[in-house]
Amino acid sequence: MSAKNKSSDIANKGKSSVSLWKRAFIANEEWDDKEEFLDVIYWMRQIIGIILGLCWGLLPLKGFFGLVLFVLVNAAVIYVYVSNFQNIDEEEYGGMWEITKEGFMTSFAGFLVTWIIMYTGLHSGSLL
Amino acid sequence: MWSDSLLIVFISICTAFLGEGLTWILVYRTEKYQKLKVEVERQSKKLEKRKEAHGDSLDKQHKKKIEREEERLKNNNRDLSLVKMKSMFAIGFAFTALLSMFNSIFDGRVVAKLPFYPISWVQGLSHRNLPGDDYTDCSFIFLYILCTMSIRQNIQKLLGFAPSRVASKQGGALFGAPSPAQFK
């Protein structure tokens, strides 16, 4: 009995996480649970960080400009997503600053790692 | 150089899983921890709701109730960190030993090339034990810290071990004096 319950729990969990990703790409979606929406923002940030790190490394972008551009692009994408795509009232989440902060440091670290590794591999001149 | 940096990413993924695995064995799976975690989360949510509902009223009774609940939450939070602390110490020691081993393996080796010129207070870390004055050379420790920052937290979140936002928000507020915004 308990095993059955457990498996149905897992199935429900899987279902909700799939629908969470689907919901993330539906415009003006209703978010009853704040945590769910902040999770979407968090994971979106991590993906953006890695994608930008790959792009910056491939181009390659260098110097302080690369860092500043990352911060600007990252913040702008989230801002547009929250205020134009989802039309969220940011006051519900404690202001735009709270949303902008969500997962930023982790995404920044992920971005730096991918940027440094791509740059080292493709443009530093010494692979060994 | 590239193989070194990829190896460091791999090392930090392994150590992150190892750390989480050890913490799971020593802390997360224990009944005491699970009970306390559920309790702290429930109380934090309740407290936040109460603050939202009665935040504007200057009713002394409500304020007193909020204070009493804050006190209870504070105690539970303290118990929770005590449960965590013992094993954290053990894991901390193990990881310090592991880190110093890797440090000696990669000693004096340039593991990556930075695409930017680090600011002076980062240079001590990014150029640690490296010869020469080219500050775009990256040391093991700098790359390892960056990897750990991104990988460990993401793994924690993926496995569901990260503390919930409500709990950490309420917990964080308890360390300082309550801000006026809390009673708005």
pLDDT in tens, A54-106: 999 998 888 899 999 999 999 999 989 888 888 887 777 777 788 888 889 99
Asked if residue B108 has pLDDT above 80, the reply is yes
Compare all CA atoms of chain B with the CA of A58 and give the residue at the minimum distance: B115
Contacts of B1 in chain A (CB under 8 A): 120, 124, 126-128
Q: Identify the pLDDT of residue A91.
A: 78
- Single-letter code of the amino acid located at B59: D
Q: Identify the pLDDT of residue B79.
A: 86
Give the global pTM.
0.81
- Phi and psi of B178, rounded to 5°? -60, 130
Judged by a CB distance cut-off of 8 A, whether residue A119 touches chain B is: yes
How many Cβ pairs closer than 8 A exist between chain A and B? 78
Interface test with B, best of A117, A122, A127, A128 (most B CBs within 10 A): A117
Contacts of A35 in chain B (CB under 8 A): 164-166
Asked if residue A53 has pLDDT above 90, the reply is yes
Q: Identify the pLDDT of residue B180.
A: 36
Interface test with A, best of B8, B113, B143 (most A CBs within 10 A): B113
Q: Count Cα neighbours of B73 within 13 Å in the Cβ-side half-sphere.
A: 25
- Single-letter code of the amino acid located at B110: V
Quick one: average pLDDT of B70-93? 85
**How far is C-alpha A5 from the chain's CA centre?**
33
Judged by a CB distance cut-off of 8 A, whether residue A109 touches chain B is: yes
Give the CA dihedral B20, B24, B27, B33, nearest 10 degrees.
Answer: 110
The pair of structure tokens assigned to B64 is: 């007193």
Chain A window 77-96: which residues touch B at a Cβ cutoff of 8 Å?
none
Q: How far is CA B61 from CA B46, B52, B136, B179, in A?
A: 17, 15, 61, 19
Helix, coil or strand: residue A5: helix
Compare all CA atoms of chain A with the CA of B145 and give the residue at the minimum distance: A109
B112 DSSP β-pair partners = B138
Structure-model confidence comparison of residues A15 and A88, the more confident one: A88
Helix, coil or strand: residue B103: helix
* DSSP H stretches of helix in chain A: 2-24, 34-58, 63-80, 96-101, 104-123
Judged by a CB distance cut-off of 8 A, whether residue A105 touches chain B is: yes
The pair of structure tokens assigned to A59 is: 């181009």
d(CA B120, CA A71): 20
CB atoms within 10 A of CB A12: 10
The pair of structure tokens assigned to A116 is: 């440094």
Contacts of B113 in chain A (CB under 8 A): 116, 119-120, 123-124
- Cis-peptide, bond into residue B163, ω within 30° of zero: no
CA distance A117 to chain B (A): 7
d(CA A6, CA B155): 23
Positive or negative: CA dihedral B76, B81, B82, B84 = positive
